[in-house]
Structure 1
Amino acid sequence: MSMRTLPLLFLNLGGEMLYILDQRLRAQNIPGDKARRVLHDIISTMFNKNFIEELFKPQELYSKKALRTIYDRLAHASIMRLNQASMDKLYDLMTMALKYQVLLCPRPKDVLLVTFNHLDAIKGFIRDNPALVHLVDETSQQLIEAYGGLSAGEFQLIRQTLLTFFQDLHIRVSIFLKDKVQNSNGRFVLPVSGPVPWETEVPGLIRMFDHKGKEVKRTEFRHGGNYIAALKEGSFELYGDRVLKLGTNMYSANRPVETHTSGASKNLASQSQQSIAPNPLAKEELNFLAKLMGGMEIRKPSGPEPGFRLNLFTTDEEEEQAALTRPEELPHEVVNIQATQDQQRNQELARIMGEFEVTDQPRWSASKGDDLLAMMDEL
């Protein structure tokens, strides 16, 4: 698992969320000033400078549930409200879109071009706000510095980590189904046409060499596809032609989008029931996540500009039906996290810690940015 994957996952999913919200805001004829405020507020929270700096520190990915909670709070960082069914649909669309993009990247390195496409589009949403554009540009510059020097193998590990995160997600999306890039079972169709990766030859030729490295024979074969050579490489600079279209806004044509939960997704709840006992490490993740969420302020509609509800479905009836048919939440056991001292447990922890103690070692002081979520309290 790559420790450099989290920034790419967070930024790309955030970009997809903004695409979807922008489309629904326009579809529901939300006044332009309110729509702009929603997008600006979310982008401002998403690209907070201190948060981004901590995001780029090497770390493991969050669990799916923890990451979902982050976007739930992020979507409510303004005057807009989503009910549970619409939030479910929003997150399904986000994850399936990014899974498709990562799966179809010609090269592992092109995941970075997908990210730049998202950031370029986000700057289009805030072109009238130079301060926010500057925040996004700073993030783009950090991407260049953090990922520009990575090897092909490191990018392959990042791509593999992303695909592992999306494994077993097979939610059907109408845009993908209509474009025939997704099958009815929710799995994507791999293309056998189009440009090959940059600096890669079109398949169809086998070269054979002798022990001295001299070419001695060529054999052609039929590959059954319709490939062409890539005309140029996408730009990895702050501004430029990305060439790759993955990661651009597929909702700009204002097409309705439907999601259909696959059988595997519906069975997820029943599969989870097999592990009823609470995981002690879950407490730490909940505490960690709670600190991050504390920094994402949910604005309460007040004053002359009241809040509004956004519907991710075509009609309220569809939304209500989706809420009725969604898999029931598991009856979670309540875990009480006590701030008081537990003497017996502390003694046991002290004993275990003593076994690992190394004497005569300098004691390092913890910096305020030790972990991403604790830092968010300071926002």
Structure 2
Amino acid sequence: MIYVIDQRLKSQNIPVDKSEKVLTDIVTVLLHPKLQQELFIPQPVATHAVIKQLLQDISVSSIMKLDDYSMNKLWDLMTMIFKWQITIANNQNIFDITCRHLKGIATLMPTYFPKRFIEMVLKNIELLREKISDDDYKCLYNTMILWFSEYHTKISILLRLGLQNKDGTFNSSATMNLKISQNLGENIYKYDNKINPIEDYSNKSAAETNEINCLLFHIEKSYNKKTILHIQLPTEVERYYSRKPVKSNKDTRIEQIATNVKGNNVKSNDLSFIADIPKSPQEDLLKMLDDI
């Protein structure tokens, strides 16, 4: 998921500061210690719907917004590329693939991102690897293969690199670039030499390859223009009742306003206004983790 989003941010020339914010927000939630703690608890395999919803919630935990079409395409890319990785893994341990994913993510993050999040997950993977017997590992591997068995979508980058056939099946590792087969879990997009990765979706054949049609459906605009917001409330100025305007920048978020109403025939009262500000998807997800 992170590889795909990073590739789309770059291909659509999103400014560096916005790209870094998108990646930081998403990876912070994805690798949050409380979420990871839940994932490492032995448990039955989650359904496709549960995993898709979880990743969808994580993917929109930033200023990036995805429409349903783009989310479905992102899901196709995530499931098929990972299915390809574990299908041709042969003697490579799937834990190694996951570790490469995490190390690959680390190279994409800005310097200020707390690397301890990634280091903590890598440590947990190593501890889990040491506990699992050979029979347990075979069971785990076969379960994952079965979980992905219903997915057969054709993916354009896999087709371009000669890793997937037109019928949706995968080529054997013996016929592919040796660097790709030996480093499963690396960012596959670095092997893609296509000049313009954004397809023309008016072309039917391009749509059939199942790339994302504008993954970055909406990234909130930054407003640099200063706009003054006028708030007029009853206030007391030098013992005289008046309506003095209160000026504030438009982007100022007012969560609480407390005022006193005083007059000759009016009993002093305390009035307060507390805004009901909707939480962001990231705050909602973190709140959910706090409640677990």
Q: TM-score under structure 2 normalisation?
A: 0.65
Q: Are residue 63 (structure 1) and residue 47 (structure 2) matched?
A: yes
Query: Bigger radius of gyration, 1 or 2?
Result: 2
Quote the Cα distance in structure 2 between the aligned partners of 1:128 and 1:52. Answer: 22
Question: Residue 164 of structure 1 corresponds to which residue in structure 2?
Answer: 146
* C-alpha deviation, 1:261, in angstroms: 7.7
Deviation at 1:65, TM superposition (A): 1.1
Counterpart mapping for 1:286-297 below 5 A? none
- Is the counterpart of residue 80 in structure 1 residue 64 in structure 2? yes
Q: Please give the alpha-carbon distance, in whole angstroms, between the structure 2 residues aligned to 1:174 and 1:375.
A: 36
The CA deviation string for residues 10-37 of structure 1, in whole angstroms up to 9 with x for no partner, is: xxxxxxx000000000111100000000
Aligned to 2:185: 247
Give the letter aligned to residue 376 of structure 1: L
1:348 aligns with none
Partner of 2:201: none
Shift of 1:254: 6.3
Question: Contact 1:54–1:375 (CA<8 Å) still a contact in 2?
Answer: no
CA contact (8 A) 1:177 1:183 kept: yes
Alignment of 1:156-305 (within 5 A): 156-192=138-174, 244-252=182-190, 253=192, 255=194, 256=197, 260=208, 304=223
Partner SS for 1:73: helix
- How far residue 169 of structure 1 moved from its aligned partner, in angstroms, is 0.9
1:151-180 Cα distance to aligned partner (Å, 9 max, x none): 222211111111111012110011221222
8 Å contact 1:27–1:254 — kept in the other structure? no
Which residue does 1:101 correspond to in 2?
Answer: 85
Q: What is the identity, as a one-letter code, of the residue corresponding to 2:109?
A: I
Asked if structure 2 preserves the Cα contact closer than 8 Å seen for 1:182 and 1:189, the reply is yes
2:61 alignment partner, SS class: coil
CA contact (8 A) 1:76 1:82 kept: yes
Distance 2:110 2:23 in 1: 12
* 1:95-117 Cα distance to aligned partner (Å, 9 max, x none): 0000000101122x610110011
Q: How does 1:37-52 map to 2 (within 5 A)?
A: 37-52=21-36
Contact 2:24 2:113 in 1 (8 A): no
Judge conservation of contact 2:154–2:209 (CA < 8 Å) in 1.
yes
Q: Provide the C-alpha distance between the structure 1 equivalents of 2:193 and 2:3, rounded to a whole number of angstroms.
A: 11
Partner of residue 109, structure 2: 126
For residue 376 of structure 1, what is the aligned residue in structure 2?
A: 289
Secondary structure of the 1:251 match is: helix
Q: Quick check: 1:89–1:259 contact (8 Å CA) kept in 2?
A: no
TM-score (norm 1): 0.51
1:21-76 alpha-carbon deviations (Å, 9 max, x no partner): 00000111100000000000000001111111121000112111111111111110
Aligned to 1:341: none
Whichever structure has more strand as a proportion of its residues is 2
Identity of aligned residues (%): 29
Gaps of 5+ in 2: 199-205, 211-218, 225-285
The residue identity in structure 2 corresponding to 1:129 is: Y
Residue by residue, what CA displacement relative to the aligned partner does 1:204-233 show, whole Å, maximum 9, x if unpaired?
A: xxxxxxxxxxxxxxxxxxxxxxxx9xxxxx
1:111 aligns with 2:94: yes
Alpha carbons 1:96, 1:169 under 8 Å: kept: yes
Secondary structure at the residue paired with 1:171? coil
Note closer, same or farther for the CA distance 1:184–1:138 as it changes in structure 2 (3 Å cut). Answer: same
CA, structure 1 residues 33+194, in 2 after alignment: closer, same or farther (shift >3 Å)? Answer: closer
Alpha carbon RMSD of aligned pairs, Å? 3.0
What is the number of equivalent residue pairs in this alignment? 212
- Please say if residues 20 and 110 of structure 2, whose CA atoms lie closer than 8 Å, have aligned partners that are also in contact: no
Structure 2 distance, partners of 1:78, 1:174, is 27
Hey, what's the Cα distance between the residues in 2 that align with 1:79 and 1:31? 13
User: Which deviations, in whole Å up to 9, do the C-alpha atoms of 1:311-333 show, x marking residues without a partner?
Assistant: xxxxxxxxxxxxxxxxxxxxxxx
Q: Is the 8 A contact 1:95 1:166 kept in 2?
A: yes
CA pair 135-32 structure 1, distance change in 2 beyond 3 A: same
Does the 8 Å contact 1:20/1:90 carry over to 2? yes
- The one-letter amino acid of 2:162's match is K
